Structure 1
């Protein structure tokens, strides 16, 4: 008796791991980028993102079926953490543009990505890339309303300001100017303890920030760290989307539109910011390729 023949079809998906907001490998924030000829289903996106296990995995597809990754100027872009899809991600957008410019040899000076947060443009510049993002001004809140989560996050450190971005569900805690930057870099935050605090759904991320030392080299205007265990990210190494909030806040506090920021996680990353008069913000940074491969399904 002849055995039945089975034909197994294998799907191959190209994947890149890019370190964003740095010019050194293993620094900045790693993102996985998957260029796709056409959209896949959400369940598969989420499984791939969980497998990659980075803060975000980006999936990019051409808007026009006749476009290629080399010729096209508009693309659809989606971002997934290991557990959920998110509405805005800076470092994975930067990484996606770098893949198209560097590895796909895209011929356009500017690429536009259609996303959950509207159109996001990324342009090449002399060193790295420049992203055109929406600005998200936060609103000052009473620290007493968030005293439990503030205590779990920063302990007894002196707090100067507490702000909330309602549309991004991001709580921003500014430490007192009396604190040294080593206090922020040495902060030990327990993600499980954060998740144990009831914030009534108002918070899905926490940013701790403090004033920098712009008069000393390299002259950072402010520092920050970001924690988002609600979306599967205990600590995000360098968070472009959070700087749409931080940029708005610190621009007013410092009285300047152009700023240099440093996110002082263990990996660390540098962001160039320019708050514009049209209610948007330019976020600049460099990108390094650390991995290129194939996902076989």
Structure 2
């Protein structure tokens, strides 16, 4: 059986940056074990599988090389890019998911805007030792959402300098770990200081050794929790964020009632066919 496969770089306008995702449109669902094998063979943060339910309406599922994932932003962005490329007449795309309800994606110029439910992170009364030992540098505050532990730091330099112990963080599964700080003074490596300094409201990094890999290049889903947190602390509903992995990625964010609008750009890297079954 031959299946189409697309690989795109999400949350970037530069090839080989952002977060790479594979997108596999299907005529019917494959066996779960086979979808996991395809994701393992692709060896990317996520592979998205799409099943069309009606014009512009798809069921989407996401697999990391380790397991099926409840919610993935960058592979949703990648999937919408592929669908809009194949069906440019569509005004909007709706994705049905198992864990987070329906997600919609629309076009705003050369950016794609996703509508996510808020996934708030709340303070915790007890911080697991594995989190503190795994991060090495003590955070100012620790919270937790349904998806991850949130470690809040005072400055971007501390976040960028972290060298986590992944064996410690792996013990925190099924939760992942996001570290974040204000973006003041932050400049991505290789970019012009005068042009870039302080343009980002906040930065973050994301570690998920229990569910996918050591560090995720750009994590759209976690910004459904990061955006409300920083909107409250900074007193603004529109934010610009940077995920400070080695590949790096830019996200435009907006709080809209109980939804978080997460926007990004996408660059196509590959389109082809795979042989399975």
TM-score, normalization by structure 1? 0.85
State whether structure 2 residue 87 is matched by structure 1 residue 112. no
After TM superposition, give the deviation of residue 137 of structure 1 in Å. 1.0
**Distance in 2 of aligned mates of 1:272 and 1:159:** 25
Structure label with greater radius of gyration: 1
Alignment equivalent of 1:126, drawn from 93, 106, 109: 109
Partner of 1:244: 224
After TM superposition, give the deviation of residue 146 of structure 1 in Å. 2.1
Partner of 1:210: 181
**Distance in 2 of aligned mates of 1:40 and 1:152:** 37
Runs of 5+ unmatched residues, structure 2: 187-193
- Please say if residues 271 and 283 of structure 1, whose CA atoms lie closer than 8 Å, have aligned partners that are also in contact: yes
Partner of 2:26: 36
State whether structure 2 residue 139 is matched by structure 1 residue 149. no
**Distance in 1 of aligned mates of 2:27 and 2:69:** 22
- Please say if residues 214 and 221 of structure 1, whose CA atoms lie closer than 8 Å, have aligned partners that are also in contact: no
Runs of 5+ unmatched residues, structure 1: 1-10, 65-71
- What pairs with 1:1-297 in structure 2 (closer than 5 Å)? 11-64=1-54, 72-102=55-85, 104-116=86-98, 117-142=100-125, 144-153=126-135, 155=136, 157-165=137-145, 167-168=146-147, 170-176=148-154, 179=155, 181-195=156-170, 197=171, 199=172, 203-213=174-184, 217-218=195-196, 219-277=199-257, 279-297=258-276
**Distance in 2 of aligned mates of 1:107 and 1:40:** 28
Q: What is the DSSP-based 3-state SS (H/G/I as helix, E as strand, rest coil) of the residue aligned with 2:127?
A: helix
**Distance in 2 of aligned mates of 1:15 and 1:148:** 38
Distance 1:214 1:118, change over 3 A: farther
**Distance in 2 of aligned mates of 1:173 and 1:217:** 28
**Distance in 1 of aligned mates of 2:128 and 2:58:** 39
Q: What is the DSSP-based 3-state SS (H/G/I as helix, E as strand, rest coil) of the residue aligned with 1:35?
A: strand
After TM superposition, give the deviation of residue 115 of structure 1 in Å. 0.7
**Distance in 2 of aligned mates of 1:81 and 1:260:** 27
TM-score, normalization by structure 2? 0.91
- Please say if residues 9 and 17 of structure 2, whose CA atoms lie closer than 8 Å, have aligned partners that are also in contact: yes
**Distance in 1 of aligned mates of 2:82 and 2:250:** 20
RMSD: 1.7
Partner of 1:67: none
**Distance in 2 of aligned mates of 1:99 and 1:57:** 13
Q: What is the DSSP-based 3-state SS (H/G/I as helix, E as strand, rest coil) of the residue aligned with 1:17?
A: strand
Aligned pairs, number: 266
Q: Deviations over 1:41-62 (max 9, x none)?
A: 1111111011101110000111
After TM superposition, give the deviation of residue 38 of structure 1 in Å. 1.8
**Distance in 1 of aligned mates of 2:144 and 2:132:** 12
Q: What is the DSSP-based 3-state SS (H/G/I as helix, E as strand, rest coil) of the residue aligned with 2:116?
A: strand
- Please say if residues 227 and 255 of structure 2, whose CA atoms lie closer than 8 Å, have aligned partners that are also in contact: yes
After TM superposition, give the deviation of residue 194 of structure 1 in Å. 2.0
- Please say if residues 181 and 204 of structure 2, whose CA atoms lie closer than 8 Å, have aligned partners that are also in contact: yes
